[in-house]
Structure 1
Amino acid sequence: MDIYICSRFFVGAPSGVPYPHILLARDGWNDYSYYTLFGVRLVVSESNQVDLDETKIMTDGQLEGFENRPFQQLPSGSIIPADLAGMICSLSSNKKYYELLASLDINLATDVLTTLRDASFLADVKKKFQEQPCFQISLLRELVARELLDEAGAAFGSEQQLISAFSAKIVLEGASAPHEFYFDFHSDLGAPRRIHSIVGLNGVGKTQVMARLAMLMSRFSKQALKEKRSALQGDDVLNPVPSIYGVVAVSFSAFDEFDRPTQLQGEKFQYSYCGLQSQRGRLKNKENLLEEIKVTLAGLPSDKRDLLKKVLGNLVRVDNLENFIDAPEENEGLYERLSAGQRLAINCIFHVLSKIDRRTLVLFDEPELHLHPQLLTGLLNVLSEILESHDSFAIIATHSPLVIQQLPMECVHVLRRDRMTPMVLKPTFQTFGESLSELTKFVFSSTEADRDYRAVLDRMCVEANHDVEAVRAIFNNQMSLSADIYLESLMDRSAGSK
């Protein structure tokens, strides 16, 4: 099918050309200096013309700037040469575009999609273009475009291909190289891979990485909005853009670095924040947290309310807690009976459940803060069940080996730093179900941290003139196996030096 270029509102459309054909009308709109928007009209015959609304079209390797707009050098009424048409990629941000195509004869509709090389319909086009900046910043600017990329082509017989594996390169200030991650959320024979963790010592960049991931996934950045640019116009990179349509950021820390959106910003970017900081940066008190729960419950649909009742019993052991879910105003006493950690955990689950939808990413920064080990594992189990029920995922930044113990090795990303050079390592053994001592030794080992109790034993051994039995007696001969083995090594070392 031939394509002809026109001025805006289809001014300059040609006459006397073969049917059917496609008319593209230029539009001056730009997405952060990428010019890709075109009106589309399908001319089946002189009396049958269908306006298909708008689509975005880019050329291979398109750069910013008006002069790089597709077909810019062609005069109105010109046919687009086949070699040029073969270098384009299109994707509409409007569901109406695909609905109108679906109302046509299927062969005619697929001919249009093939001619315009629509990325939702042609898998090879999607694969070729999806990592290019113009595609990510312009064609995928609107959240709905990301969903249409994955789903629109299925109505015309194309196989749906959701992206659940992707790489992320995060460039932090002062670092000599980017943090490079590869996240793969595909399930493998039932293995628990919906949750990944980022672990490491303080100062390796976990909190900053989480904030950048929230920005990249949601496209929400207060700084970018202020500077009137895309959040993707920076050094950080996602390849390819995953099939994730919403982001929930959660933190129990008073020092997290997540941007906090207003309600309107949250709705626009499908991004929400749950944490201890208010919109103005002040710390929330118990009354603030309770009010948030009341607002959340008031808008919770019945299916999510039922799921909440189902999972909450696995998190806290409080009789009649269902009454609080049904009527919080009348059962505030139930909430008052909870510990501070239980309140935070409940607020987290209420918020996540209220905001989560299909293919949502939950970014949880240090869930172990304020929670005892049993409550932490309970929170992870409840979160996992919610993720499973909504085909969603989570990335958790943590210091806790308890979190790592719940995850297979391929879902654990260990951050380390050699001066200013960051490293992202994978465990060399299976972390799922491994002992906490082994996990702690591997993840948090360092020249300084390795000393721990051994430095104390070194000192005590010297003060006891290398009398190992005297040291044992100080502990009533009830030393742990690890400590006793180390003490034996000190005795052997002392004997060897004589």
Structure 2
Amino acid sequence: MKTKKASPTEPVTVFFYHDPYPNFNKNSHDIVITPKLSNRKDTKFGMGCAIYFRTYDGAYESFNGHCAIQGNNNLNEFFNSVLQSHEPIDARSLKVPFRTLLSDSKSYNLLHNIFGAKRARELLTAAQDIAVATGFHVSWRGFTSSSEFSLGFIRSSEAYFAFRRAKRIIQGLSIKVADARQTFSAALIGKGPNVTFNFLFDKSNFFRGRISVIIGQNGSGKTASLAKLARGLADTKNKSVEITNRPDLNQVLAFIHTSSRRQFTPASEAGMGRARIFTFNPATPKKYDSVPMTQLLVDVARSLGPMYKSLDIFREVLAAEFPNLQLYIPIDHPNNNEPNSNKRGGHANFEDWMRGGEFSQLKQIAQIDHSRPIKFVDERGSERPLSLGQQSFINFCLIALANAGPSSAFIIDEPENFLHPNLISRFMRTLNKILEATQSIAIIATHSPFVVREVQSAQVHVMWESEGLIKVSHPRLQTLGANVASISNEVFGDDLPMHLYEELVVHAKNQSSTFTEALQKYSGELSTEALMLLHKKMDSENA
């Protein structure tokens, strides 16, 4: 039996389901709310849920959210006690009030794109959405000052941002006025590094930019500090970081290495706010959090509307960073009878993809074949396999654009580990383009002077040890645009007692009786600096 299509003129039906994976073929409810399963022990609040909205064609779109029912801190426990028969229950039959909130601003944006402003507002009102609803079935006096709201609903920066801006998003209005770039300090306390970072993002000084860097020698605590910052910025109640002048953040996106995941994932209750974590590993280029590039492209394409046009940004990145390559997308059942020189072997040219009206765009998204990879073709028409670093670079761009929203914070751990040095500048330019488009900021832990060179010294935080304590300072050298060798010497230091080249210079000295003789032998073998060192050593020996 075909599911009945929703009509905007009919009353909106909301049902609670005990089963986290409801069988939608057996119902035609406009909204279905189910508890969200969690493997974590939740000792206080368990309000995570999935909210399904039925579209006009009978399909369902799923969103993460929060659901509170008065007198019940745990949604699963409530369902176990009330929905004992596991049969769905009509929300209108509840004797107590309930409230919901979608987890992030992007969800409200997507809801607007799918349903339009009027229908989206009707659905959210029926779902008793605390950010959008204009009327409630049953009043809940003092809900916004309750612990359910402050600790269960808006503990995360994402939910708080969505709560304050959902009405504008649903109306299709821009929220670019939100900007994460502001001066703030973060004092790390508790287990791990106990230091204070002063982030000097300044809207009036474009040289300060949107990127800050943390550097230091191995063992100084860069990654541990980055993990604390990610948790503290994502979770407004986190006790391991004291943030002064907290930035107006939408969400925190952490790009880390697989081995660091445990540090960035707090072992705490499910109600805690946390960063969205993405791992990259150069050894497994085909698995970037198990999401194929084609799916990421779809996610980027759907990120349209009142936030920003991420697909256009990706087009700009490809044109700027890969000017001699064309991207081709695998599609199902291409119409090869159609005269189009930009189709080849079941792939469509990216420049033609997502062109046309709304119906055409939806059709093109549906035609993508996710079982096959995208292709890159050079100016001679030959397929060009991407290097490991290029794949990682493009994956980062797609994941960043698919997940970022206005006023985000990017936390990135040692990007140079998966990039060729020549790609680091591309990475930094692309990151800055995304940050500017989304009014976001980034904090990067790095060992690379190529990364440091792109940032003003006021935004470079050097971690170093003194008498058993870790301290933070700024380099004396102005790092923005500085020589890489100078940055390495000033910022990273050079504490090795003897380098290999010095041993070779000593060997050259021992094989020559005079510097003139050594110069004749080795002038073509040594750099000017090494020859000067050789001259100095021979002079000191003859003195």
Structure 2 residue 222 is the aligned partner of structure 1 residue 206: yes
Seen in structure 2, the aligned counterparts of structure 1 residues 257 and 367 have a Cα distance that, compared at 3 Å, is farther
1:137-164 Cα distance to aligned partner (Å, 9 max, x none): 8997353675499889xxxxxx999771
Structure 1 pair 414/470, CA: closer, same or farther in 2 (3 Å)? Answer: farther
Maintained 8 Å contact 1:461/1:467:
no
Give 2:255's aligned residue: 250
1:458-469 matches, cutoff 5 A = 459-460=506-507, 463-464=510-511, 467-469=514-516
**Residue in structure 1 matched with residue 207 of structure 2 by the alignment:** 191
Amino acid in structure 2 at the alignment position of 1:382: T
Which residue number corresponds to residue 272 of structure 1?
276
1:290/1:328 Cα in 2 relative to 1: closer, same or farther (>3 Å)?
farther
Change (3 A) 1:139 1:285: closer
Distance 1:258 1:304, change over 3 A: farther
**Separation in structure 1 between the aligned mates of residue 401 and residue 417 of structure 2, nearest angstrom:** 20
Q: Residues of 2 paired with 1:495 and 1:359: CA distance?
A: 65
CA distance change for structure 1 residues 161 and 231 in 2, over 3 Å: closer, same or farther? Answer: closer
Q: Which shifted more, 235-244 or 250-259?
A: 250-259
* SS of residue matched to 2:226: helix
- Deviation of 1:489 (Å): 2.7
The 3 A distance-change label for structure 1 pair 161 and 483 is closer
Query: What corresponds to 2:427 in structure 1?
Result: 379
- SS of residue paired to 2:415: coil
Q: Is the 8 A contact 1:214 1:258 kept in 2?
A: no
Q: 1:388 to 1:162 in 2, by over 3 A?
A: closer
Which of 310, 313, 333 lines up with 1:307 in the alignment? 313
Alignment of 1:478-497 (within 5 A): 479-496=526-543
The Cα shift of 1:181 comes to: 0.9
Partner secondary structure for residue 244 of structure 1: coil
Separation of aligned partners in 1, 2:258 and 2:487? 23
The change in CA–CA distance for 1:307 and 1:96 in structure 2 (over 3 A counts) is: closer
User: For 1:275, what is the secondary structure of its paired residue?
Assistant: strand
Change (3 A) 1:474 1:291: farther
1:240 aligns with 2:248: no
Give the distance between the partners of 1:144 and 1:272, measured in 2 at CA. Answer: 10
What are the Cα deviations for residues 218-245 of structure 1, in whole angstroms up to 9, with x where unaligned?
12xxxxxxxxxx8613x43222322222
For 2:229, the aligned partner's letter is L
Q: Which residue of 2 aligns with 1:141?
A: 155
Further displaced range: 197-206 or 140-149: 140-149
Residue 269 to residue 418, structure 1, CA distance change in 2 (3 Å):
same
CA change 1:144–1:333 in 2 (3 A) is closer
- 1:408–1:432 Cα contact (<8 Å) kept: yes
1:273 Cα deviation from its structure 2 partner? 1.9
Q: Which residue identity does 1:452 align to in structure 2?
A: H
Q: Could you say what secondary structure the match of 2:417 adopts?
A: coil
Contact 1:244 1:359 in 2 (8 A): yes
1:356 to 374, 396, 404: 404
The 3-state SS of whatever aligns with 2:390 is helix
Structure 1: distance between partners of 2:225 and 2:504: 37
- Quick check: 1:204–1:422 contact (8 Å CA) kept in 2? yes
Residues of 2 paired with 1:476 and 1:162: CA distance? 54
Q: Over the residues paired in the alignment, what is the CA RMSD in angstroms?
A: 4.3
The 8 Å contact of residues 389 and 418 in structure 2, kept in 1 or not, is answered as: yes
Matches within 5 A, 1:175-186: 178-186=194-202
Q: Which range moved further: 196-205 or 316-325?
A: 316-325
Cα distance in 2 for partners of 1:487, 1:94 equals 74
| Structure 2: stretches of 5+ with no match in the other structure | 1-69, 74-97, 100-128, 136-143, 145-149, 167-176, 329-348, 354-366, 377-382
Q: In the alignment, what sits opposite 1:65?
A: none
Say if 1:374 and 1:167 are closer, same or farther in 2 by CA, change over 3 A.
same
Matched AA of 2:421: P
Q: Deviations over 1:349-407 (max 9, x none)?
A: 10011111111011111111132222111111011011001110101111111111111
Report deviation, 1:174.
6.4
One-letter amino acid of the structure 2 residue matched with residue 293 of structure 1: M
CA contact (8 A) 2:389 2:419 kept: yes
Contact 2:184 2:198 (8 Å CA) reproduced: yes
Q: Note if 1:215 corresponds to 2:239.
A: no
1:421-474 alpha-carbon deviations (Å, 9 max, x no partner): 1121101121111111100101221432x6435632563266347744454455
Distance of 1:458 and 1:172 partners within structure 2: 48
Could you tell me the percent identity over the aligned residues?
Answer: 24
How has the CA–CA distance of structure 1 residues 171 and 318 changed in structure 2, closer, same or farther, with 3 Å as cutoff? farther
Given that residues 172 and 208 in structure 1 are in contact (C-alpha distance below 8 angstroms), is that contact kept between their aligned partners in structure 2?
A: no
Greater shift, 388-397 or 302-311, is seen at 302-311
Query: 2: distance between equivalents of 1:332 and 1:139?
Result: 39
Instruction: Give the superposition deviation at 1:29.
Output: 9.8
The two structures have a TM-score, normalised by structure 1, of 0.59
Q: Tell me how far apart the structure 2 counterparts of residues 479 and 317 of structure 1 sit (CA, whole Å).
A: 38
Specify which of 374, 377, 395 is matched with residue 332 of structure 1: 374
**Rounded Cα–Cα distance in structure 2 between residues aligned with 1:276 and 1:385:** 21
In 2, the alpha carbon distance for the partners of 1:481 and 1:172 equals: 50
1:320 lines up with 2:326 in the alignment: yes
**Structure 2 equivalent of residue 346 of structure 1:** 394
2:444 counterpart of 1:438: no
Paired residue secondary structure (2:394)? helix
Q: Deviations over 1:81-103 (max 9, x none)?
A: xxxxxxxxxxxx95469x89xxx
Residue identity opposite 1:179 in structure 2: V
Distance 1:170 1:407 in 2: 23
Other structure's SS at 1:141 match: coil
Query: Residue 27 of structure 2 aligns with which residue?
Result: none
Contact 1:315 1:379 (C-alpha < 8 Å) held by counterparts: no
When normalised by structure 2's length, the TM-score is: 0.55
Q: Distance in 2 between matches of 1:460 and 1:172?
A: 51
- DSSP 3-state at the match of 1:415: strand
**Segment drifting more, 464-473 vs 479-488:** 464-473
Please name the residue that 1:392 is paired with. Answer: 440
The 8 Å contact of residues 165 and 186 in structure 1, kept in 2 or not, is answered as: yes
| Structure-1 residue corresponding to 2:183 | 165
Counterpart-to-counterpart distance in 2, 1:337 and 1:354: 23
Structure 2 Cα separation of the partners of residues 408 and 161 of structure 1: 20
Distance in 2 separating the partners of 1:162 and 1:371: 27
Deviations 1:45-98 (A, max 9, x none): xxxxxxxx99xxxxxxxxxxxxxxxxxxxxxxxxxxxxxxxxxxxxxx95469x
Q: How many residues are paired up?
A: 352
Distance 1:270 1:142, change over 3 A: closer
Q: Structure 2 counterpart of 1:167, which letter?
A: S
- Give, as a single letter, the amino acid of the residue that structure 1 aligns with 2:446: T
The more displaced of 334-343 and 471-480 is 471-480
Are 1:150 and 1:160, in contact at CA under 8 Å, matched by a contact in 2? no
> Using the alignment, how far apart are the partners of 1:150 and 1:472 within structure 2?
72
Corresponding residue SS for 2:461: strand
Distance 1:383 1:29 in 2: 43
